[in-house]
A and B are shown apart, each in its own frame.
Chain A
């Protein structure tokens, strides 16, 4: 199993550009989530999904959209990038929800200039 994969590993955007961060898992997990990690801080939840077709907001959802059309994929869309969105983004999945251990991807380092 590949586990949780994320693409790209690195990305540089200009202010106002849009892009999609990809996340996929091959463990048939129901739960998937997106976090951002800023220097010296823990992870903050952006959006999560408890199954295909079901998404909800986390702690810092503004400026990001998600959808979950399949169990395997959970892309994160930045609508109009801002310098404040410069961060490392992690995708995670688990069997059902947060009562189970989370499996994390390797992260995407995003810089917005």
Chain B
């Protein structure tokens, strides 16, 4: 079964607005990563946050991690039409051979209207 669940499944906003996507996971993790996928393309890494971190920024992206609630959120500020894509969270399990397994959520489809 999928480790990560994302919410909402789809999000439609106007350019300039902020977009927030949430990810929940079930077991302990080593890190949580966010990826973007444009239609028909491969995934592109956005940001990685480790289990001992609470917040991380990269340009217009802000990611938070709450390990007590087993959840993460991705905030895109001042969104642009070019941000239209699917966004996936992926959780990495802790320790040993589990470092080989990354589990993806089902994704959030973000549409930014010009």
Contacts and interface: CB of A to CB of B under 8 A. Distances in A.
Interface string B43-74: 11100101000000000000000000000000
A43 B88 contact: yes
A100 B33 CA distance: 9
Contact of A56 (B42, B44, B100, B106): B100
B101 A107 contact: no
A64 interface: no
A33 B4 CA distance: 19
Given A42-B88, A99-B31, A107 B41 contact: yes
Given A43-B88, A99-B31, A48 B100 contact: yes
A105 B42 contact: yes
Interface residues of B, number: 27
B106 A48 contact: no
Interface string A75-100: 00000000000000010100001111
Contacts of B97: 56
Most A CB contacts (10 A, CB to CB) among B31, B48, B102, B103 go to B102
Contacts of A41: 106-107
A74 interface: no
Interface in B1-55: 2, 4, 30-31, 33, 35, 41-45, 48, 50
Interface string A27-71: 000010101000011111100101000001011000000000000
9 contacts: A41-B107, A42-B2, A43-B43, A45-B102, A56-B100, A59-B103, A99-B50, A104-B44, A105-B42
Query: Shortest 7 CB-CB distances between A and B: which pairs?
Result: A42-B104, A104-B42, A97-B99, A98-B92, A101-B45, A98-B102, A43-B104
